[in-house]
Each structure stands twice: as structure tokens, then as C-alpha cells.
Amino acid sequence: MSKPFYITTPIYYVNDRPHIGHTYTTVLADVIARFHRMRGEQVYFLTGTDEHGQKVEKAAAARGITPKALADEVVANYTELWKAMGMTHFRFIRTTDEDHKAQVQRLFKRLLDKGDIYKSVYKGLYSVSDEAYVTEMQAKELQAQGLAHQLVELEEETYFFRLSAYQDRLLKHYEEHPEFVQPDFRFNEVKRFVEGGLQDLSISRTSISWGIPVPGDEKHVIYVWFDALLNYLTGCPNDSWPPDLQIVGKDILRFHAVYWPAFLMAAGMFQPTTILAHGWWLMGEDKMSKSRGNVVRPDTLLRFGNDALRFYFMRDMPVGHDRSFSFEGFMDRLNADLANGLGNLASRTLSMLHRYRGGVVPLPTALDALDEAMAHQLLEVFPDYLEKARGNDFHAALDALWTYLRALDGYIVKAEPWKLAKDPANDPKLDAVLANLYRALRATALLVAPVMPGMAQTLWECLGHDTKVAEKTFHGFALDGPAIGPIGDPKPLFQRIDKEKELSELEPVAAPAEVKPALDVPEIRETVDADTFFKVDLRVGRILEAERVPKSDKLIRMKVDIGLEQRTIVGGIGKAYEPADLLHRLVVVVANLAPRRLMGIESHGMLLAASDNASKPYLVAPPDDAQPGFLVK
Ligand code: ME8
């Protein structure tokens, strides 16, 4: 028998309660775990908390409590939230658990004996805010950002892990295992980092007391990342090693794709795995994070239901990319897709089945071309959804399914079952329509069960089942099988949100903590007449490719789809944006600007950006439902 599918989330720091960033990661892991169970696999799912280190020590001191007391409090927050959201992890690991502490010390000792860990003196720069040693290059970057005050000169005794010895093995592994990091563009960042050369890694501190002591040299505590990463080993049952899928935010990809495999290689335990690095939830352009004070807490959104929040996360965030959160966008999505979309389709279908067929699902006897086409679409969308979900792309999977659900709405409009019901001569046609709709909903309940376990179960029961949909498997599911009995009573799947009311009652999310200097607003430019203005061809584009122009820190070469064609555009936005974060963004393009050459590349257009002239460009973003080619006027 094959080993269980082993999936992990990062273990979260206990210096703060969870926000929707942490919640998103755990939902993603839970959805994937549930999906694999419904593929008939055994699944082992691990999550937990990272409790040692200076951040926690300081946060506890500020509250006048011990670090362990703080950890206990925050852990309770996490475990209650995960319970309320129906997370299906098997263990919630804490780095203060006894078996973990023993594991970390055992492995430290083993690598020390082997020579992969050695004691030496670190002399150089240290970043106080990151709690990390800083290379010369990083120091220059910080200085350029005006953050030199965060750096101090340091000389201290520390244990090093011989990371430099693993550079070649890591690069070889990257080359042989293109599946090691998803998505690809994030993998490139990792490769470039390692190709740039690896320095040995300090993994102990004498300045911190809240941590696991180095065995036999107790004035040192083991530095957090060596301690934290090993949780995946401690928390893994014997039969599940290695992890199949490790989900992380892009902020901690380097630790997982460089340090973690190197530790395991040193321990002789490394085996291929996949690390899936997702993007960030942003507030405007900024990462949502506690230190910026701009977080949204999950309770604010859970008022609309656990299923709704899970659905929103999976439907709105293309894995790997950043996404701006807006409360309005959240409500629009739920109203459009759950109240109007699936909810409306289910209630119409169920009430027609009750009204026209007394709750008994008919067998289709005669399908016309339209009925055939709809039945066929189901046969296509079902495996397509499964394949996309298997690639962890629930965003695309749900998109495909909802396109199909919209097509079903159109089918009802065209078939006009209410007219068919008036004449018994139309019975075969009405049977075909009702059976098609029933089958579509039944398949939908099954497909969305990992994403919306509660709503899927409600729908499943409305369709007449008394079983648990989550216990079914996708494999062998008879899409055109007959109903097992009469359908149940219709129940509303999702209550439409009164957006205006919610917005008026909403507590504003704290603005980013930094104080922005007063703007030096430029004067309005000279008046132009409307004809002159309309000569400028502005249109919506989507960025398909983006890469830095060699030898320039400012220029990015992009391929942009503007509806009619794809254009090469070079933009001076490289200081404000990483190429990876530009992919798939909608932008406004000046499409009839004369081409010009920038560092040898011909640029055919320009992207509109707002700017205060002093700091950085802010790309102008059309709303999500705009399409490449739309004119802006
Ligand atoms: O880094 N958008 O813990 P942490 C999306 N203890 N995801 C976000 C997010 C955002 N704005 N903010 C946080 C640590 N996350 C370490 C990990 S693992 C051995 C040790 C999610 O509490 C995302 O998954 O800072 C990110 O990687 C993680 O929370 C960081 O959580």
C-alpha cells in the first residue's frame, strides 16, 4: 500500500492571534487534504505553532507574562478557530512539546558529531528587527532603504550549520526535480539565491533564553529556524515520511527550499517533496501583517459562514500570486457566486422537481441537441475540475465549474421549463432538463465538498442523500447514474448579503502604522480639449510575462495582452515591483504611443501608474472583471 499523503502548513508564531493570512494557508492545506481523501488516499495533515525565540519572549515581557503562558493563550485562539472552521489536521504540533524538544536536540547532536554543525565566532552586522545576521549585500540594501539604524556590529560565539557544503547538492536536486517548488517563477528566485553562493548558517544564540538549549552547552539556545523546521519531522508518523506537499507563504519559501532540505540532507533523511509557495493577501499594496497593523481577522468574515470564507479564499486567490483584500470584493464574490450562482440554481432546480415531478427525479428518455450539449459539458467539466484541483489550482478549478453553472442558468432560460410543464406532450423534454440539472448539482456537491464541506453536505441532503458527501470518492462516481430516491426539502444554501448595510456598519481596518509625509501635490496641467484627449488610446491589458532587463534595477520587460494582440512593453517599475508579482495583473496601457527603445529593447506602449513623484509608481488597476482590450475613456 502506498504511504499516506503527508501535507503540512507552516507553524505560526505565537506573538499574535491569527489573521486571514494564516487562515488562508490553513484553509488551502485543509482543502487539499480533503480533496486527497476524496481521491481515496489516506492523508496525514500537520499544523501547529512556533513558540520559541525573541519575538515571543518580547511580546510576553510586554504583557508581563511568561512566554509559555502567552503561547498557551495564542494556541487556544488557533485551536478554537481551526475547530470552528472544521480543519482536519491530525496533530497540532507545538515546538514546546516534549517530543519535539528531544528531537531537535537529538538531531543537533547528530550533526555536531558528524561535523555539519560546528562552533565558531560570528563577527559582522546584525539586523535587530529581523533577528538575523546580515551579509554585506543585504546591509547595502538596508542602507539604500534608509534602514541602516537597524544594523549593529556584533561579535559572538555561535554554532554554525555547514550550509555552504550543500550548495551543489541543492542545485543538483533543483535541476532533477522541477516539481520541488511550485509555482515555477518562485522556484527561479530560489535557484538564483543558491547560485549566488551559500554561507554557513548560524543556528544558536546566547542572547536569547526562550528556546531549546544546545545539548551540553546550555548557554546557547538553538535558533528558531533549526528548531521550527524540524517540526515537520517530529510531527510525522513513521509511515508517512517524507512530506508530499508543504504549503508556505512566499515570505518563508527560502527557509523551506534551501535550509530545510539541507538540514535533511545532512541528517541523511532527505527525499523529494513539493513546496507550494502561495502569495500574500494585501491591503491595498501592502502585505497584511501584524507589524503594519493592517490585518483583517477571520471572525470579521466568518459571520458570513465558514463555507463562504473558504470558498472566497479558494475562488479569489490564484495560488502563488498576491491578492488585494477588500471587504466589498468579498461580499460581491459571495453574492454573485453563492447567492445568485449556485444557491439560485439549486433552489430553482429543487423547487421545479417538487412542483413538476413531486420530488421524484425523472430519467431522461429523449435528449435534444441542447440537452445533449449540457450533459456533455458535465462530462468534460468534472475531470477538468479534478485535474486542476490535483495541481492545487482550486482557483482555476472553481472558475471552470462556475462557468458551467452559469451555462446551466442559460440552459434554463432557453429551455423554459415553466412553459414545457403546461403541456404533457412536452414531458420527455422537461424530464431531460430536470435530470440534467439534478445531475449537475449532484456532481457540484461532490466537487465542492473539500472547499465547502457544510454547504456541500446541505446540498447533498437536499438532493435526497442520507450519506456523507465527504466520505464519497471522485473515482468511479456515476455522473449519469439515477437518483437514489426522491429529493429532500429545499434549504437555502447561502443568504444574500446586504452589502450597503454591511459596509455602513463596518469597522475600518487600521491604516498602516507608518505616517506618510504630506503630499507635494503638483499643479493641474494646461487644459486640453476633449478631441485631443480622446486621441490617446487607453485600454485594459493583462501582464502575461515579466522579467528584469539585465543590468538595470529599474526596467522590467513585459508581455502584455491588450485584447487584439500581445505587446512588449518596458516599464520603469522595477524598484517598486518584483516581476513575479506583476504576472496576471490587469493594467491600463497607452496603446498608441510611438515605440521607443529602452536599453536595446523596443517598447510598444506604456503602463499607467499613479505617483507622488517622490516614492514609487503605483500601477493603475482596472477592476477584476474587466477584460484585456476594454477601452478606458
Ligand atoms: O513565519 N497573506 O510564522 P508566521 C498570506 N513561524 N499568508 C500570510 C500572510 C498574508 N498577508 N501573512 C502570514 C512564521 N501568512 C514561522 C514559520 S515554519 C517552520 C515557521 C501566512 O506566524 C503564510 O503562510 O509569521 C506565511 O508563510 C505564514 O503565515 C507566516 O506565519
Q: Which fold has domain 530-632?
A: OB fold (Dihydrolipoamide Acetyltransferase, E2P) (2.40.50)
d(C-alpha 39, C-alpha 475), whole Å: 7
Class of domain 323-471: mainly alpha
417-450 residue pLDDT tens: 999 999 999 999 999 999 999 999 999 999 999 9
Q: Is the pLDDT of residue 145 over 90?
A: no
588-607 residue pLDDT tens: 999 999 998 888 899 999 99
AA letter at 528:
V
* Residue predicted with more confidence, 625 or 576: 576
* Residue predicted with more confidence, 625 or 330: 330
Q: Is 25 exposed, middle or buried (0-12, 13-18, 19+ CB in 10 A)?
A: buried
* Residue predicted with more confidence, 292 or 608: 608
Kindly report the number of other CB atoms within 10 A of residue 1's CB atom: 5
Q: Is 285 exposed, middle or buried (0-12, 13-18, 19+ CB in 10 A)?
A: middle
Contacts of 576 (CB under 8 A, 6+ apart): 616, 617, 618
Q: Which grid cell sits at 426?
A: 412536452
Tell whether ligand 1 has an atom less than 6 A from the beta carbon of residue 100: no
Domain with CATH 3.40.50.620 in the chain: 5-278
Tell whether ligand 1 has an atom less than 6 A from the beta carbon of residue 224: no
Q: Is the pLDDT of residue 615 over 70?
A: no
DSSP codes, 112-133: HHHTSEEEEEEEEEEETTTTEE
The stretch 344-354 carries a mean pLDDT of 97
Atom of ligand 1 nearest to the CA of 13: 22
Q: Is the pLDDT of residue 585 over 90?
A: no
Mean pLDDT of the chain: 92
Tell how far the Cα of 21 is from the centroid of ligand 1, in angstroms: 7
Contact 77, 41 (CB under 8 A): no
Tell how far the Cα of 23 is from the centroid of ligand 1, in angstroms: 10
pLDDT tier, 261 (very low <50, low <70, confident <90, very high otherwise): very high
Contacts of 307 (CB under 8 A, 6+ apart): 451, 452, 453, 454, 455, 494
Q: Whose CA is nearest to atom 30 of ligand 1?
A: 12
Backbone angle region of 358, left / alpha / beta, with phi > 0 → left and psi within -120 to 50 → alpha:
left
Q: Whose CA is nearest to atom 19 of ligand 1?
A: 229
The stretch 160-183 carries a mean pLDDT of 97
Please identify which residue in the block is written with the cell numbers 467539466: 381
Domain with CATH 1.10.730.10 in the chain: 323-471
The stretch 469-475 carries a mean pLDDT of 97
Tell how far the Cα of 278 is from the centroid of ligand 1, in angstroms: 10
Residue 46, SS3 per DSSP: strand
pLDDT given at position 90: 97
Tell whether ligand 1 has an atom less than 6 A from the beta carbon of residue 252: yes
**Calculated CA dihedral for residues 87, 89, 91, 94, nearest 10 degrees:** -60
**Residue 183, preceding peptide bond in cis (omega within 30° of 0):** yes
d(C-alpha 389, C-alpha 397), whole Å: 6
AA letter at 266:
A
CA atoms 260, 177, 21, 98: torsion sign: negative
Q: Give the containing element (helix H, strand E) for 394.
A: helix 394-415
- For residue 4, give the nearest of 239, 161, 223 by alpha carbon: 239
AA letter at 604:
H
Contact 319, 395 (CB under 8 A): yes
Backbone angle region of 473, left / alpha / beta, with phi > 0 → left and psi within -120 to 50 → alpha:
beta
Q: Facing residues of 50 across strands?
A: 13
106-115 residue pLDDT tens: 999 999 999 9
d(C-alpha 509, C-alpha 497), whole Å: 20
pLDDT given at position 613: 61
Q: Which fold has domain 5-278?
A: Rossmann fold (3.40.50)
Tell how far the Cα of 12 is from the centroid of ligand 1, in angstroms: 6
Q: Whose CA is nearest to atom 21 of ligand 1?
A: 22
pLDDT given at position 515: 46
Q: Which of 9, 13, 27, 28 to mutate to test the pocket of ligand 1 (most atoms within 8 A of CB)?
A: 13
pTM of the entire predicted model: 0.82
H helix runs in 273-334, sequence order: 298-302, 306-316, 327-334
Atom of ligand 1 nearest to the CA of 260: 19
- The CA-atom distances, in angstroms, between 488 and each of 80, 320, 417, 448, 600 are 33, 40, 21, 20, 68
Contact 320, 581 (CB under 8 A): no
Contact 577, 598 (CB under 8 A): no
- For residue 508, give the nearest of 295, 243, 360, 287 by alpha carbon: 295
The stretch 506-519 carries a mean pLDDT of 55
Domain with CATH 2.40.50.140 in the chain: 530-632
Tell whether ligand 1 has an atom less than 6 A from the beta carbon of residue 281: yes
The stretch 387-398 carries a mean pLDDT of 97
Q: Is the pLDDT of residue 514 over 60?
A: no
- For residue 14, give the nearest of 62, 77, 61 by alpha carbon: 77
Q: Is the pLDDT of residue 357 over 70?
A: yes
Cα atoms found within 13 Å of the Cα of residue 442, Cβ hemisphere only:
26
